[in-house]
Amino acid sequence: MLASLAMLFVAVLLLLFLLQGQRGEKFPPGPRVIPIFGNVLQLNLKSPIKDLERLTKKYGKVYSIFFGSRPLVVVNGLEAFKETLVSKAFDFCGKPQDIMFNYAFQVQAHAPGVVLADYSPIWKEQRRFSLMTLRNFGLGKQSMEQRILAEISHVTKVLEENAGGTMDPHLLFHNAASCIICQVLFGKHFEYEDEFLKFSVELFHVTSKILNGPWGIEAFRLFRASRQKRLQFMAENKKTRVPGKPRHFIDCYLDEMDKRGDDGSSFCEDQLCALLLDLHYAGTDTIANTLLSAFLFLSYYPHIQDKVLDGKDEVSFEDRQQMPYVQAVIHEIHRKGDVTPLGLYHSATKDTELMGYSIPKGTIVVTNISSVLNEEGQWKFPHEFNPENFLNDQGEFVKPEAYLPFSAGVRMCLGEALARMEVFLVTVSLLRKFRFTWPEDAGEPDFTPLFGTIQTPKPYRMKIQLRETP
Ligand code: HEM
């Protein structure tokens, strides 16, 4: 009797073992699934982009891979992107809730922030408020521009100190990007030596590289410490706050909470705390790494720098309309920067279809942004850094449909306006003052970035020379 039970138990285990990772009939195809591991062993998790490209050639624009027993549907190329994010936007605007990242980020059901929040009234309410507040603080308008230009003067000072020599701009750009978003969130300029700034930059840098990879205790520890620091900030802020006279994002949020009272909305201090991390994180690492890519490419191709200059000393964001070549350079920076190669995981909000395949509710969907930004047939020069990708035969600025570094649809980046303004102003202002070149003794640059949810160019040094003032 005992022996039969044991055999039955083993048989059930074996069946479960064999069944796991099986694809349903109309589920997107993909490589053979290895029990327990799924397809993890067939991918280079440190840099899976090439593997994903290889799989696209074999299985088409939509295929599936398994992480253990969990399937992920990978969407590649513009056509599949448009169906996922635009025509079926509401079928695919969920966010998976039971992944390791959410635990480390300390996502709470009643206060999930925005970035990792599932599609829900909470997400809608918090996203709308965040967008509106960023806009009221001058996004796309003069005041934000002044804040960015003020930060650029700090960057300029550091570069002046290094003029005539070489420097690794990594920390400088992270500090600058972090300071700009901190102005909006906390209404305060942090010195580059400030402990909070240093801690945050380190947190974003370390964790953005391990989000898709092996998780360590370190990430959990860092996020926990970060939460404590944000709570401390919020408590200190209350001592000087005057209701109805908001100085920054935190005050606006607290005013909104007062206004709403007990109306059952999702506004609460836990949610504020989550939003502060979302916006600080998303507003720092993405922009800093875009700037790092910008100056890596521009140092190696200095002739492009010279074409960006038009004789003016000062730059304004408004000027971009009259600067087609500069527009093309900035867009090419975002394209080749490719800082969020796989976007942020989406999930299916209901049983649905994609490019003829069946996708059950809850399936994780990976939007391979990198595949669109580098897709052959969509770009004149898909694989090289070349502003001509955004210029027509008359030299006018044009934006191809496949330009989607900020994703598309209902979950698209809510900081796009800030990002575009920041990258434009920093790049153009610095090029007006300095000439950046690739050091003669540095060998050939390696343009392949270090993969992560947010990817980073490999460390490099650039040579800095002050331009002659006319
Ligand atoms: C070059 C800079 C940036 C790039 C390339 C970028 C790209 C992205 C991408 C690809 C997504 C995922 C969209 C999706 O799920 O389909 C995203 C989401 C998001 N981004 Fe950005 N981003 C940048 C800068 C910023 C900045 C400056 C902020 C805030 C100040 C920001 C805030 C957010 C937020 C809150 C979300 C989540 C939106 C939601 O799920 O509703 N981003 N971003």
278: left (phi over 0), alpha (psi -120 to 50) or beta: alpha
Confidence band, pLDDT 50/70/90 cuts, at residue 356: very high
Q: In this predicted structure, which of 41-50, 340-349, 422-431, 451-460 has the lowest mean pLDDT? A: 41-50
Where is pLDDT greater, at 246 or 211? 246
Work out the mean pLDDT of the chain and round it to a whole number: 90
pLDDT of residue 98: 83
Whether the Cβ atoms of residue 308 and residue 55 lie closer than 8 Å to each other: no
Predicted confidence (pLDDT) per residue in 77-99, tens digit = 999 999 999 999 999 999 999 88
pLDDT of residue 423: 97
Backbone angles phi, psi at 354, to 5 degrees: -145, 120
Confidence band, pLDDT 50/70/90 cuts, at residue 207: confident
176 Cβ closer than 6 Å to some ligand 1 atom: no
Among protein residues, the one with the nearest Cα to ligand 1's atom 22 is: 413
Local structure of 41: helix, strand or coil: helix
CA–centroid distance, 337 to ligand 1, in Å, is 14
pLDDT of residue 101: 77
In the chain, % of residues over pLDDT 70: 91
Q: In this predicted structure, which of 41-50, 167-176, 203-212, 408-417 has the lowest mean pLDDT? A: 203-212
**This prediction's pTM:** 0.93
Average pLDDT over residues 237-246: 94
CA–centroid distance, 100 to ligand 1, in Å, is 20
Longest dimension (CA), the chain: 96
Of 370, 384, 381, 372, which Cα lies nearest the Cα of 451? 370
Cα–Cα distance, 54 to 235 (Å, whole number): 51
Confidence band, pLDDT 50/70/90 cuts, at residue 448: very high
pLDDT of residue 140: 46
Predicted confidence (pLDDT) per residue in 99-151, tens digit = 877 877 777 888 899 999 999 999 999 999 999 999 887 654 558 898 999 99
Pocket test of ligand 1: the residue of 127, 413, 426, 455 to mutate, having most ligand atoms within 8 Å of its CB, is 413
pLDDT of residue 1: 58
Among protein residues, the one with the nearest Cα to ligand 1's atom 19 is: 413
Asked if residue 394 has pLDDT above 90, the reply is: yes
Whether the Cβ atoms of residue 331 and residue 373 lie closer than 8 Å to each other: no
290 Cβ closer than 6 Å to some ligand 1 atom: yes
**Which DSSP category does 111 fall into?**
B
CA–centroid distance, 125 to ligand 1, in Å, is 17
Helix ranges restricted to H, 23-74: 49-59
Where is pLDDT greater, at 411 or 146? 411
pLDDT of residue 188: 87
CA–centroid distance, 117 to ligand 1, in Å, is 13
Where is pLDDT greater, at 162 or 263? 162
Asked if residue 459 has pLDDT above 50, the reply is: yes
CA–centroid distance, 414 to ligand 1, in Å, is 6
Query: What are the C-alpha distances in Å from 407 to residues 286, 337, 338, 342?
Result: 13, 14, 11, 10
Whether the Cβ atoms of residue 304 and residue 332 lie closer than 8 Å to each other: no
Asked if residue 327 has pLDDT above 90, the reply is: yes
* Residue 179 is assigned to a ligand binding site: no
205 Cβ closer than 6 Å to some ligand 1 atom: no
Asked if residue 21 has pLDDT above 90, the reply is: no
419 Cβ closer than 6 Å to some ligand 1 atom: yes
Cα–Cα distance, 165 to 97 (Å, whole number): 48
341 Cβ closer than 6 Å to some ligand 1 atom: no
* Angle ∠(250,254,256) on CA atoms, nearest 5: 115
Q: What are the CB-based long-range contacts (under 8 Å, 24+) for 77-82?
A: 77/371, 77/372, 77/375, 78/372, 78/375, 78/378, 78/401, 78/402, 78/404, 79/355, 80/354, 80/355, 81/367, 81/372, 81/404, 81/408, 82/408
pLDDT of residue 15: 53
Closest-lying ligand 1 atom to the alpha carbon of residue 284: 27
Asked if residue 345 has pLDDT above 50, the reply is: yes
pLDDT of residue 318: 83
415 Cβ closer than 6 Å to some ligand 1 atom: yes
Confidence band, pLDDT 50/70/90 cuts, at residue 11: low
42 Cβ closer than 6 Å to some ligand 1 atom: no
pLDDT of residue 107: 77
339 Cβ closer than 6 Å to some ligand 1 atom: yes
Whether the Cβ atoms of residue 85 and residue 367 lie closer than 8 Å to each other: yes
292 Cβ closer than 6 Å to some ligand 1 atom: no
* Angle ∠(303,306,309) on CA atoms, nearest 5: 155
279 Cβ closer than 6 Å to some ligand 1 atom: yes
Helix ranges restricted to H, 106-193: 121-136, 142-162, 170-186
Of 98, 97, 104, which Cα lies nearest the Cα of 224? 104
Predicted confidence (pLDDT) per residue in 302-326, tens digit = 999 988 776 566 678 888 888 999 9
Average pLDDT over residues 212-233: 80
Predicted confidence (pLDDT) per residue in 34-48, tens digit = 988 999 899 988 889
411 Cβ closer than 6 Å to some ligand 1 atom: yes
CA–centroid distance, 283 to ligand 1, in Å, is 8
Give the pair of three-digit tokens for residue 111: 């206060």
CA–centroid distance, 287 to ligand 1, in Å, is 10
pLDDT of residue 386: 97
Q: In this predicted structure, which of 8-17, 186-195, 255-264, 299-308 has the lowest mean pLDDT? A: 8-17
> In the CATH hierarchy, which fold is given to the domain comprising 18-466?
Cytochrome p450 (1.10.630)
Confidence band, pLDDT 50/70/90 cuts, at residue 5: low
275 Cβ closer than 6 Å to some ligand 1 atom: no
CA–centroid distance, 363 to ligand 1, in Å, is 22
Asked if residue 422 has pLDDT above 70, the reply is: yes
Q: In this predicted structure, which of 126-135, 162-171, 181-190, 315-324 has the lowest mean pLDDT? A: 315-324
Average pLDDT over residues 345-368: 97
